[in-house]
């Protein structure tokens, strides 16, 4: 097992656990509360630890949560879910979920348990998703318990096996099938053949899971450096068919002479190659843009009489398809805006040549905004995922050119010399799209080098001429 330096989140978790140990010492709870799930698993694997923890006990978790609050260990009254025997508190910055060891029964049409009853630690382990997540660590003694007797050996073998028959485990909560794929790529584990077969047989049952929960698991998968392998596994298990229908036309969509792979294979290679290190943009958003950058190709594919294949305007169409799918997946408007902007602009840097004018470079910088570096990273990965024996744009040279252009005139200066308020007051215009168009026109003149950003006199003349032309067009 490997090791890693503690992160700040791990430090806060350690502090929270120490407060719990001290607060429960010399009480009836001492020695009877156990860490369970991802924290124990990742600790034993030497992986970075999560910033939240799950605790289980053979007793009333709701009473324990209230006890923690009354003792001043938890900062706020617990959030309780009596039906499930669970409660949540914050200890410092760490979210702690407290669970009564329980057994559950399910209804066919829901992943939420229909009946819940208190149970033993062994029975509680049986209801969990995978044996590697059933290992327990005694909060006070640090002793590792393996209730089922197979969790430790499966962890060492790096195998994802279900505690009970996989068809039962996945039928009860189909989201576990998606978690199996996510854990496989995230942890570098293999899925037990019986479990994999059960996923193949029951993939359609994922439809009963809320799209919000599916999105959370999918996002976690996309946050992994091995996301491309996970995406292929989602395709092969048909889990992707349950929520990613707009992606499926990429499979088998052949391309032109620049490519080695179909659109799906090329997109996965782009996901694999894209480098999110050091960016403010979340890694999963950049990989999502890499996955979707050519999603418009199947809808725009044309073949000339000589057999030449084209995908005219696939960037624009792809941005529309991506936006619709991401909305269906319940991603935030901010995420949708960033990802679709990258999809829409991904062709631009690929056309770069040394003959580009400074204004063309400035326009790219302006249009990409804060996404400029993510865009260049995306295009680099896109090029790397194509044939290497054909000529592609030199993105390193484009970066150097951008630096040169910005050194002459910082992008903060690429603005209209006139504000919207000034334009409305001068021409007696109400707030309207026309005011925005005038500002945009003046900004374009600055970018083209025809107007200095502080030349208001020339700006007024250009604005008056633009307004006269638009007025004449309407008459």
CB atoms within 10 A of CB 226: 16
**Res 79: pLDDT:** 94
Straight-line distance from the first to the last Cα atom of the chain, in angstroms, rounded to the nearest whole number: 77
**Res 107: pLDDT:** 52
**Res 103: pLDDT:** 73
Note whether 453 and 469 are within 8 A (CB): no
Domain 1-157 CATH superfamily: Beta Polymerase, domain 2 (3.30.460.10)
**Res 257: pLDDT:** 82
Q: Nearest 5°: phi and psi at 56?
A: -130, 150
**Res 116: pLDDT:** 56
> Closest Cα to residue 373, out of 336, 398, 344?
398
| Whole-prediction pTM | 0.85
Alpha-carbon gap, residue 391 to 393, rounded angstroms = 7
Region of 356 (left: φ > 0; alpha: ψ -120 to 50; beta: rest) is beta
**Res 469: pLDDT:** 83
Do strands 159-160 and 190-191 pair parallel, antiparallel, or not at all (unpaired)?
parallel
Helix axis angle, 433-448 relative to 358-368, nearest 10°?
140
Domain with CATH 3.30.460.10 in the chain: 1-157
Segment-wise mean pLDDT, segments of 10 residues, the chain, 475 residues? 42 89 94 95 94 92 94 92 90 92 60 61 93 97 97 98 96 96 97 98 96 97 98 98 98 90 97 97 98 98 92 97 98 98 97 92 92 98 90 92 87 80 89 87 83 86 85 65
Question: What's 163-228 look like in SS3?
Answer: CCCHHHHHHHCCHHHHHHHHHHHHHCCEECHHHHHHHHHHHHHHHHCCHHHHHHHHHHHHCCCCHH
Note whether 415 and 400 are within 8 A (CB): no
């Amino acid at each position: 097992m490997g090791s890693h330096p503690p992160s700040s989140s791990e430090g806060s978790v350690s502090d929270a656990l120490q407060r719990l140990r001290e607060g429960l010492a010399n009480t009836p709870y001492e020695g009877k509360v156990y860490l369970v799930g991802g924290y124990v698993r990742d600790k034993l694997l030497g992986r970075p630890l999560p910033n939240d923890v799950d605790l289980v006990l053979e007793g009333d978790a709701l009473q324990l949560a209230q006890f923690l609050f009354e003792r001043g260990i938890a900062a706020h009254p617990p959030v309780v879910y009596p039906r499930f025997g669970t409660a949540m508190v914050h200890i410092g910055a760490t979210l702690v979920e407290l669970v009564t060891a329980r057994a559950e029964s399910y209804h066919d049409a829901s992943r939420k348990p229909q009946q819940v009853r208190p149970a033993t630690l062994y029975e509680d382990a049986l209801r969990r998703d995978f044996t590697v997540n059933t290992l327990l660590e005694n909060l006070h003694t640090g002793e590792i318990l393996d209730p089922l007797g197979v969790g430790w050996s499966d962890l060492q073998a790096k195998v994802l096996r279900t505690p009970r028959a996989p068809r039962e485990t996945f039928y009860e909560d189909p989201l576990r099938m998606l978690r199996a794929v996510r854990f496989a790529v995230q942890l570098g584990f293999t899925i037990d053949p019986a479990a994999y077969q059960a996923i193949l047989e029951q993939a359609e049952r994922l439809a009963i899971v809320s799209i919000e929960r599916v999105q959370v698991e999918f996002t976690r998968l996309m946050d992994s450096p091995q996301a491309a392998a996970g995406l292929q596994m989602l395709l092969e298990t048909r889990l992707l068919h349950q929520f990613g229908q707009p992606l499926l036309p990429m499979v088998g969509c052949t391309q032109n002479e620049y490519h080695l792979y179909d659109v799906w294979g090329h997109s996965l290679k782009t996901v694999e190659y894209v480098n999110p290190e050091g960016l403010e943009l979340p890694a999963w958003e950049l990989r999502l843009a890499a996955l979707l950058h050519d999603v418009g190709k199947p809808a725009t594919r044309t073949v000339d009489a000589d057999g030449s294949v084209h995908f005219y305007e696939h960037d624009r169409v792809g941005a529309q398809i991506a936006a619709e799918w991401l909305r269906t997946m319940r991603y935030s408007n901010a995420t949708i805006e960033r990802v679709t902007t990258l999809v829409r602009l991904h062709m631009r840097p690929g056309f770069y040549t040394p003959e580009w004018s400074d204004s063309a470079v400035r326009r790219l910088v302006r249009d990409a905004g804060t996404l400029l570096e993510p865009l260049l990273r995306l295009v680099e990965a896109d090029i790397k995922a194509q044939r290497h024996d054909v000529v592609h744009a030199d993105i390193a040279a484009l970066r150097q050119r951008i630096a040169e252009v910005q050194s002459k005139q910082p992008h903060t200066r690429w603005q209209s010399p006139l504000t919207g308020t000034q334009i409305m007051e001068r021409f007696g215009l109400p707030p309207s799209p026309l005011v925005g168009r005038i500002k945009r026109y003046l900004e374009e003149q600055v970018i083209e080098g025809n107007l200095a950003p502080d030349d208001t006199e020339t700006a007024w003349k250009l604005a008056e001429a633009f307004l006269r032309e638009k007025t004449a067009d309407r008459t």
